[in-house]
Each structure stands twice: as structure tokens, then as C-alpha cells.
Amino acid sequence: MSTGRADDRTGRNDGGGDAAALRAVRWSILDRALVRAGQRPDEALRETVAFARQVDGLGFHRFWVAEHHGVPGVAGSAPTVLAAAVASATRRVRVGTGGVMLPNHRPLVVAEQFGVLEALFPGRIDMGLGRSVGFVGPVRRALGVEKDAADRFGEQITELLGHFEGSGPVRALPAEGLRVPPFVLAVGSGASVAAAHGLPLVMAHLSDEDRMLAAIDRYRTEFVPGAYAERPYVIVAVNAAVAATAAEAAVLQVPEAWATVHSRTRGVFAPLEPPGDVLARDMTERERGYFEQARAGQLHGDEAGMTRALARLVTRTGADELLVTLNTHGTEGRLDSTRRLARLAGLPGADAPAGR
């Protein structure tokens, strides 16, 4: 696992250096199974599986799915179940979660679920773990957890890994003795938890770059080598869009930005609306502020511009891997953006038909 770029924070590269930086890291995809306006949740889930087949054909390293509960605009509520469907439909790509929210579950059950996945798809399963609980009281109560459940995240990870190692109070079959790579999502104290347990870190790309870099630095400084990683390994998760022009790429990210505004002002993350409908809205000053805030952490551009932007991100963070997500209203724009990303990354399937 490469860590040699951690101290290069200049962000300056020539074109050849930018291309080399992008080819020096792994590239993966996160799909959150967001629902489009007028779409049924089952249709969104089937789109996720179809997209995974295309990503597999393009040569990306991982395809991860996420966990959300009680959200009308998100169909992905059971990530291990969806991961099984994705793994069944693909041939090569690693499949995992970004992530399972451990405070919502008993570690024994999580171990058993990932044990089943690894037993069925050996050598292809990742276990991404987060510490978030439900965003609103009714969801937390339905899950049987409260906000303070996140405070026990480190203890839960120890218990979970113990089940794979055979040191748990009961036998977790078929997980016992299997090796499923764990990853920690950096929410709150996640970076320190990942470092203490010697696990790879997944860090979200933040508009507050200093905060992002401080968390990554803390992780590297505090990292304790362990059974799962000998050295720090950083995955940067970024919302990125590539199109023929920067303007076209920017439009692709409009639907998710508006859904975020909707959640901030109305308490519900709504299904993705067509970008034209969003841009035609007469937003209030408050909505416009939230919209710009949501856009601040997104990266978009044509292929040349995104080569520079993503190379700068890799250089400044010392990332070993990029985990890219793009949630838009149409499937064609997302697939075109993903193919362009594959080309920037020099992936083996970039110039071949995607899927099978």
C-alpha cells in the first residue's frame, strides 16, 4: 500500500505528473442507491446492480453500497443484502459497504452477515464500517438505539473483529477464521478509531480542506500496525463528475445538491429531481445558501480539468485510493462520467464496452 505522497502538499504538477498521480492510486465506486423522482425503490436497487456490472467491466477496484434508514429518497437500507446481489451480478470487482453503521447492529449479526458473503464470494468482500446512528428520533427508536450508541464504536469494532478471530463469547459461523478486510469511515472520531485498531481509513472529501487534512494527519500519526494493515491506508471518498464540458459536469451534480437542501429545510432527503427543474426554481436566500454549501464539496469538470483537480486531491491527501460517487437524475450521464473517470485512471476496461 502506497504512502509516499503524504508529505507532498504543494498540489503542483505538470500535465504528465497529474496523469501519473491518477494512475498511481486505486479507483473505486460508491453507489448509495438514491431514488429518482417518479421512480420506485425496487427500480433504484436494480439500477444499482446494473451499474455495478458496468463498473466491473470498466476495471474499478471496488463497488460499495451504503446504509440509510427511513429516507424516502434512498433505497439502500440493507447494505449486506444489496452487496450480495451486486456480488452475484459481477465477476471481478470487490464488493462491500460504505458502510454498515455498526451502532445500529449487534456485532455478532454483522460478523455472520459478512461471513456469509465471504463464504459465498471468497476474496471479493470488503467490510466498510461507520459510526452514525439514525438522523431523527423516530428512526433511532425503530432501530433500538440512541445517539450515544456511536460512543461505543471502538468497542463494537473490537467485538466484531473478535468474532472473525474466534475470540468472541460465541462462535460466529461462518465468519470464524475468515478474513474480510475492515475499513473505518471517518465520521467524528472515526480517524482515531481506525488508527487505534490499525485499520484502513475512508475519509470524505470536505470543502473545509484543512479539517480533512488534519484528520488524515492524525490518523497517520496515531496509526498502530495490526493484523489487518501494516501501515496507514487512506481512501478519499469524493463526489465527482466528468463530462465533455465543465458546465455539463456541474449540471450532473445539481439533483443531489437540491435533495440535500430539501433535507436541511424540510427534514426529508427527497428523490432526485431533474436538474432543469431544480435550476428553474426561485430559491429562497436560505435555500440558495444551503445549495451553494452542498456544491462546495463536489468536484466537476471536463477530462483535462478533472485530471488536474483529482491529481491535486491525491497529492495533498497522499491518498492510496479514491472512492468516487455521483448521484444524478439520469443513468446515461452517470455512466458517461464513470467511463471518463476510468479513462483518466487508465483502467483496463476504459475503452471497452462496459458490463457484460
Q: Which domain holds residue 313?
A: 15-253+298-345
* pLDDT value of position 297: 87
d(CA 6, CA 217): 8
- Count Cα neighbours of 26 within 13 Å in the Cβ-side half-sphere: 19
Residue 273 lies in a domain: no
Residue 143 half-sphere exposure, CB side, CA atoms within 13 Å? 25
pLDDT at residue 68, rounded to an integer: 85
The grid coordinates listed for 163 are: 468474532
Tell me what pLDDT residue 134 has: 67
**Local structure of 299: helix, strand or coil:** strand
Number of domains in the chain: 1
Stated as kind and residue range, the H or E segment containing 137 is: helix 137-143
Does residue 98 sit in helix, strand or coil?
coil
Residue with the larger pLDDT of the pair 269 and 233? 233
- Give the pLDDT of residue 12: 43
pLDDT of residue 324: 98
Average confidence (pLDDT) over 320-340? 96
User: Pick from 110, 91, 31: which is nearest to 63 by CA?
Assistant: 31
Question: Does any domain span residue 8?
Answer: no
For the chain, report the end-to-end CA distance as a whole number of angstroms. Answer: 30
- The answer to the question of residue 9 being in a domain is no
Kindly report the pTM of this predicted structure.
Answer: 0.92
Residues 200 and 183: their CA atoms lie apart, in Å, by 5
Kindly state whether residue 153 falls inside one of the protein's structural domains.
yes
Give me the pLDDT at residue 70, please.
75
How much is the pLDDT for 16?
78
H-helix or E-strand spanning residue 287: helix 285-296
Tell whether 277 is covered by a domain. no
- Give the CA angle between residues 134, 82, 106 to the nearest 5°: 45
Q: At what angle do helices 303-317 and 209-222 cross, to 10 degrees?
A: 40
Task: Write out the three cell numbers for 32.
Answer: 448509495
Give the model's pLDDT for residue 267: 83
- Residue 6: predicted pLDDT: 37
Integer angstrom CA distances of residue 35 from 46, 83, 226, 324: 11, 18, 39, 18
**pLDDT interval class at 9 (50, 70, 90):** very low
Spacing of C-alpha 323 from chain mean position: 6
Q: What is the mean pLDDT of residues 163-179?
A: 92
- What CATH number should be reported for the domain holding residue 216? 3.20.20.30
- Encoded amino acid at 41, one letter: P
The SS3 of residue 237 is: strand
d(CA 183, CA 234): 10
Q: Work out the mean pLDDT of the chain and round it to a whole number.
A: 91
pLDDT for the residue numbered 1: 37
Average pLDDT over residues 72-91: 95
Q: Assess if residue 286 is contained within a domain.
A: no
Span 126-147, average pLDDT: 79
145 strand-pairing partners: none
Provide the pLDDT confidence category of residue 141 given band limits of 50, 70 and 90.
Answer: confident
Which strand (E) or helix (H) includes residue 234? strand 234-242
% of the chain exceeding 70 in pLDDT: 93
pLDDT, position 356: 43
Q: Which residue has the cell 424516502?
A: 72
Q: In this structure, is residue 260 part of a structural domain?
A: no
At position 254, the amino acid (one-letter code) is V
Domain membership of residue 326 (yes or no) is yes
Place 221 in a pLDDT band, splitting at 50, 70 and 90. Answer: very high
Residues 150/103, Cβ–Cβ less than 8 Å? yes
What confidence category does residue 303 fall into, taking pLDDT thresholds of 50, 70 and 90? Answer: very high
Contact 7, 33 (CB under 8 A): no
Neighbours of 167 (CB within 10 A): 11
Distance of CA 216 to the CA centre of its chain: 16
